[in-house]
Structure 1
Amino acid sequence: MQLDNRAQTLLKALVERYIADGQPVGSRELSKISGLELSPATIRNVMSDLEDMGFVASPHTSSGRIPTPRGYRIFVDQLLTVQDIDESVLETALGTKLQSSIITGITGSPQKIISNAAQVLSSLTQFAGVVMTAKQESIFKQVEFLRLSEKRILLVIVAPNDEVHNRLLLTDVDYTPAQLVQAANYLNQHFSGQSFDQARLSINHELRALQGDMNRLMQTALEAGSQAMADDADDMVISGERNLLNVSDLSSNMSSLRRLFDLFEQKSGLMQLLDVSGNASGVRIFIGGESQLVPMEEMSVVTAPYEVNGRVVGTLGVIGPTRMAYERVIPIVDITAKLLSNALNH
């Protein structure tokens, strides 16, 4: 919906003032801060129109008005002036953590870099920082089978970074220790360093001549191994949740706060939201409950994808109150995504 210049100017002034101090904004105050030479009566008429259109609301306790999620949306999409943040300032803030991760990353894990990025987002915004980790194939270095009892086998998987994953297999056949050694040797000799999915595809084509029971054991092991590594993977890193306890818009409502921490604990809605964000280029802003995946009117999420070798592999973002300084948070998220991409590419 298009607003005339006068309505846009007044809405922009109202949102900016409300973000700054959290108090309903009255017509007389708008007359002073908007820069428009309008009488309070004229401003009240414009505010009444904006309220009818759903962009502002009047709390019962005050004659002033506050922005609605719809008002924030038009503010962010059409009226916002994003701050110019010196990248070198962010690089300095990020550098201590990300650059140290790059140095240790020669023998360390990208997971540490991702965790540091979440911490930096949290510390710079004083909200919660979240990073969806890069999607990785379930590659194995070595597998072993341990016979626990009749038709019960423990599958032991060693990942390329020497992490160990276990999965219990329940089989239709009682395999002998010699058969288990034979199967493990075959998988390690032919498929070490490949993903479970690649190995399973190859076995479908190459092991027709193998005894049926052995083929079935390997297929079961590869499916279970892929699932075990996926289950053990930490798909998301969240930092600074406790910062939100200091946000009056959230902490004053125990019901909202409980729902917020349920969201952090379950993660499924956030995962879907970040996954959707990864399909778009640049920064995306979800205000209030409009994402339907994070249905909280008091909360907004600002996200951006990050890349490795030119391919989007994950998403990061900031979770905070709807009343946040978008002009500052947006460039922080955008630049952090670029710096994280550079760190991982390094």
Structure 2
Amino acid sequence: MHLDTRAQTLLKALVERYIADGQPVGSRALSKISGLELSPATIRNIMADLEAMGFVASPHTSAGRVPTPRGYRVFVDTLLTVQPIDEGALESRMQSRLQSNSPQKIIANAAQVLSSLSQFAGVVLTPRRESIFQQIEFLRLSEKRILLVIVSPGGDVQNRLLLTDVDYTPSQLIQAANFINQNYGGHSIDDVRLRLQTEVHKLRDDMNRLMLAAVELGSEAMTDDADGVVISGERNLLSVTDLSSNMTSLRKLFEMFEQKTTLMRLLDISGKATGVQIFIGGESQLVPMEEMSVVTAPYEVNGKIVGTLGVIGPTRMAYQRVIPIVDITAKLLSNALSQS
């Protein structure tokens, strides 16, 4: 729905004032802060039109108005002026936090940085671990107990204990590992499982069972914690009145943090787009609370999008400040992970 210049100016002024102090904004205040030379009556008429179009609402306890989710959406999409940010200063502040030999530590630190800079909750959807293996090895520990060693193309090593019905000799274990590595190395675990079921009939049944058991266990090893969410600063949201004003809101908030399913779905969807995305409660069904917004951006490793990060806060957040924080953190995390 088209808004003329005066309506846009008043809506922008109202949202910015409401974000700043959390109080309904009246026509008299708008006449002072908007910079428009309009009579109070004209401002009231424009505000009535904005309310009729669903961009603002009037709380029962006040003559002033507050933005609706639809009003926030227009604000962030077309009216928002993003604050310039000193990328060099932010990068130097974050650089030491994002230096580590452990990608998991870098990701955890990125969530903490997002939280500390925004004063809300920082969240990072960790990269999916590819279920491709480079080679495996069987190590006999004792009778019917074998250590399965799985090496990914990137050099990550997963170890799992394999209990068997047969006491395999070291030479049998070497034979089985060589068969898998020579025929299936570089393939996904799922692909190997399907092919083993049809291609190893020429081997003895006990060797077949060993390989199939190894693939099943390997699949579990390669997918453990594959889709994880790292959250930092949840307690910051307890001090946000908009989110913690009643027990129902608090329950929804911490159910989301505990179960993580909703967060993972939202972050996964936002990772399919480029740049910063803003999900506003009451407008997006992916956000479980009307009073909550999530600002996200995808991050990359060697040019490939592998995950998403963001800030969880109240709908009444300073988007002009949070957006560049999320955007730059995504870029710095991409650089750190690509160099790690």
TM-score higher than 0.5:
yes
Name the amino acid aligned to 2:52.
D
Structural mapping, 1:193-342, within 5 Å: 194=186, 195-197=188-190, 199-200=192-193, 203=196, 207-233=200-226, 235-342=228-335
User: Partner residue of 1:67?
Assistant: 67
Name the amino acid aligned to 1:5.
T
| Secondary structure, aligned partner of 1:177 | coil
Deviations 1:252-278 (A, max 9, x none): 122111111100110111111111111
Q: Which residue of the other structure, out of 94, 103, 119, is the alignment partner of 1:126? A: 119
CA contact (8 A) 1:133 1:234 kept: yes
Identity over aligned residues, as a percent? Answer: 68
CA contact (8 A) 2:148 2:160 kept: yes
CA contact (8 A) 1:283 1:334 kept: yes
Moved more, 134-143 or 2-11: 134-143
User: Partner residue of 1:177?
Assistant: 167
Deviations 1:135-188 (A, max 9, x none): 122347545577999xxx88755565455445x77xxxx731127983576236
CA contact (8 A) 1:283 1:330 kept: yes
In the alignment, the residues of structure 2 paired with residue 198 and residue 122 of structure 1 have an alpha-carbon distance, to the nearest angstrom, of 40
User: Partner residue of 1:34?
Assistant: 34
- The size of the alignment, in residue pairs, is 331
Cα drift, residue 291 of structure 1: 3.1
CA contact (8 A) 1:145 1:181 kept: no
Structural mapping, 1:152-191, within 5 Å: 156-157=148-149, 160-162=155-157, 164-165=159-160, 175-178=165-168, 182-183=172-173, 186-187=176-177, 190-191=180-181
Consecutive unaligned residues of structure 1, counting only runs of 5 or more, are none
CA contact (8 A) 1:69 1:288 kept: yes
Cα drift, residue 189 of structure 1: 7.2
Name the amino acid aligned to 1:13.
A
Name the amino acid aligned to 2:92.
T
* Distance change (3 Å), C-alpha of 1:318 and 1:69: same
| Secondary structure, aligned partner of 1:113 | helix
* Distance change (3 Å), C-alpha of 1:182 and 1:10: same
CA contact (8 A) 2:115 2:311 kept: yes
Deviations 1:175-224 (A, max 9, x none): 31127983576236743975534644664675342124532442243133
Cα drift, residue 127 of structure 1: 0.6
Asked whether 1:93 is paired with 2:93, we answer yes
Name the amino acid aligned to 1:227.
E
User: Partner residue of 2:8?
Assistant: 8
In the alignment, the residues of structure 2 paired with residue 55 and residue 292 of structure 1 have an alpha-carbon distance, to the nearest angstrom, of 18
Name the amino acid aligned to 1:37.
E
In the alignment, the residues of structure 2 paired with residue 190 and residue 218 of structure 1 have an alpha-carbon distance, to the nearest angstrom, of 8
| Secondary structure, aligned partner of 2:168 | helix
Structural mapping, 1:76-115, within 5 Å: 76-98=76-98, 100-101=99-100, 105=101, 109-115=102-108
Asked whether 1:53 is paired with 2:61, we answer no
CA contact (8 A) 2:126 2:228 kept: yes
Consecutive unaligned residues of structure 2, counting only runs of 5 or more, are none
CA contact (8 A) 1:155 1:225 kept: no
In the alignment, the residues of structure 2 paired with residue 296 and residue 148 of structure 1 have an alpha-carbon distance, to the nearest angstrom, of 55
| Secondary structure, aligned partner of 2:84 | coil
Alignment RMSD (CA, Å): 2.7
In the alignment, the residues of structure 1 paired with residue 250 and residue 8 of structure 2 have an alpha-carbon distance, to the nearest angstrom, of 33
Q: Which residue of the other structure, out of 128, 146, 149, is the alignment partner of 1:135? A: 128
Moved more, 320-329 or 285-294: 285-294
Name the amino acid aligned to 2:46.
V
In the alignment, the residues of structure 1 paired with residue 150 and residue 180 of structure 2 have an alpha-carbon distance, to the nearest angstrom, of 15
In the alignment, the residues of structure 2 paired with residue 148 and residue 52 of structure 1 have an alpha-carbon distance, to the nearest angstrom, of 77
CA contact (8 A) 2:138 2:173 kept: no
